[in-house]
C-alpha cells in the first residue's frame, strides 16, 4: 500500500509540470526564446546564489519552484531567501513575453511590467527597469560575463538598484547604494554555472 501511494504521489508531481516548465524544449539554450526569456530564464529548477565576496555563503538565493496560473496567465514562482535569514522566504510571480518581464502583485491583484529589455528610455514608472548598457563585461565569483545592464528610471531614491543580466544565465549582479550582490553559482536549465 505504501509503495502504491508513493507511486501515485510521484505520478501526480510529474504530470503537474509540463516539460517546457522544467526545461526549454531543447533542454538548454533555446534560440527561439524571446529577449526577456533569454535574460530572465524561468524554468522550474533554475536557481541562483549571490554573495558579497568570493568565499561567502549565499546571501541571496533565488529559486524557481513552481508554476501557477493566475487570470489565465502562467507565472513562475520565484522564491527569494537568504542563508542569514533562513525563515524569510519571499515568493514572487513572474512571466516573460517579448522584451518584457511581468510580475503579478498579490496585494493589488494586478500585473505590472518590472523590466523592459527593449527600452533604453526611462518612463514614469519608477519601478520599471530599462536598459542602460549592452555588451559590458563584468567579473563576479561565478565567472566573466557579457551583460546587459538595467536600472530603474527613478535612480535617486535609495531603493534603486542597477542589475546586470547575462544572456541564458539571468541576473549576475545587482548593485545598490550600500553594496552589491554577485553571482556565486547557478543552475540554469540543468547546467551548472560556476567558476572552474
Q: Which residue has the higher pLDDT, 30 or 77?
A: 77
Name the domain count of the chain: 1
Q: Which long-range contacts (CB under 8 A, 24 or more apart) does 74-80 make?
A: 74/21, 75/104, 76/21, 76/42, 76/43, 76/44, 78/42
Q: How confident is the model at residue 91 (pLDDT cuts 50, 70, 90)?
A: very high
pLDDT at position 89 is 85
CB 131 within 8 A of CB 123: no
Do the strands 110-116 and 129-140 form a parallel or antiparallel pair, or are they unpaired? parallel
Taking the C-alpha atoms of residue 191 and residue 49, their distance in angstroms, rounded to an integer, is 14
Q: What is the mean pLDDT of the chain?
A: 83
Instruction: Report H helices in 32-182.
Output: 35-39
Give me the phi and psi of 84, to 5 degrees please: -80, -45
Q: Which residue has the higher pLDDT, 152 or 92?
A: 92
pLDDT at 142 over 90: yes
pLDDT at 58 over 80: no
Instruction: Report H helices in 27-181.
Output: 35-39
Pull the grid cell for residue 97.
513575453
Q: How confident is the model at residue 27 (pLDDT cuts 50, 70, 90)?
A: very low
pLDDT at 141 over 50: yes
Q: Which residue has the higher pLDDT, 156 or 56?
A: 56
pLDDT at 97 over 70: yes
pLDDT at 117 over 80: yes
User: pTM of the predicted model, to two decimals?
Assistant: 0.82
pLDDT at position 7 is 37
Q: What is the DSSP letter of 58?
A: P
Instruction: Report H helices in the chain.
Output: 2-16, 19-22, 35-39
Average pLDDT of the residues in 127-141: 93
Average pLDDT of the residues in 135-153: 94
Q: Which of 50-64, 70-84, 93-107 has the lowest mean pLDDT?
A: 50-64
Q: Look at residue 171 and give its three-state secondary structure.
A: strand
Alpha-carbon Rg of the chain, whole angstroms? 17
Taking the C-alpha atoms of residue 91 and residue 15, their distance in angstroms, rounded to an integer, is 23
Q: How confident is the model at residue 32 (pLDDT cuts 50, 70, 90)?
A: confident
Q: Bridge-partner residues for 183, per DSSP?
A: 50
Kindly state the greatest CA–CA separation across the chain: 62
CB 42 within 8 A of CB 78: yes
| Structural domain containing residue 180 | 2-193
Average pLDDT of the residues in 69-89: 87
Q: How confident is the model at residue 29 (pLDDT cuts 50, 70, 90)?
A: low
Amino acid at each position: 500500500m505504501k509503495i502504491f501511494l508513493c507511486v501515485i504521489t510521484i505520478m501526480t508531481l510529474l504530470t503537474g509540470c509540463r516539460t517546457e516548465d522544467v526545461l526549454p524544449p531543447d533542454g538548454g539554450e533555446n534560440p527561439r526564446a524571446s529577449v526577456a526569456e533569454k535574460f530572465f530564464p524561468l524554468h522550474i529548477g533554475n536557481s541562483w546564489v549571490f554573495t558579497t565576496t568570493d568565499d561567502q555563503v549565499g546571501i541571496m538565493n533565488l529559486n524557481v519552484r513552481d508554476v501557477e496560473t493566475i487570470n489565465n496567465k502562467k507565472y513562475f514562482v520565484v522564491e527569494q531567501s537568504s542563508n542569514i535569514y533562513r525563515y524569510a522566504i519571499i515568493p514572487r510571480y513572474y512571466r516573460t513575453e517579448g522584451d518584457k518581464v511581468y510580475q503579478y502583485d498579490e496585494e493589488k491583484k494586478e500585473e505590472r511590467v518590472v523590466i523592459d529589455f527593449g527600452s533604453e528610455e526611462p518612463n514614469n514608472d519608477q519601478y520599471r527597469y530599462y536598459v542602460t548598457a549592452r555588451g559590458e563585461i563584468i567579473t563576479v565569483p561565478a565567472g566573466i560575463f557579457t551583460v546587459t545592464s538595467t536600472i530603474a528610471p527613478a535612480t535617486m531614491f535609495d531603493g534603486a538598484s542597477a542589475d546586470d543580466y547575462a544572456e541564458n544565465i539571468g541576473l549576475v549582479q545587482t548593485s545598490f547604494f550600500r553594496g552589491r550582490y554577485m553571482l556565486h553559482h547557478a543552475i540554469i536549465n540543468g547546467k551548472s554555472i560556476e567558476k572552474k
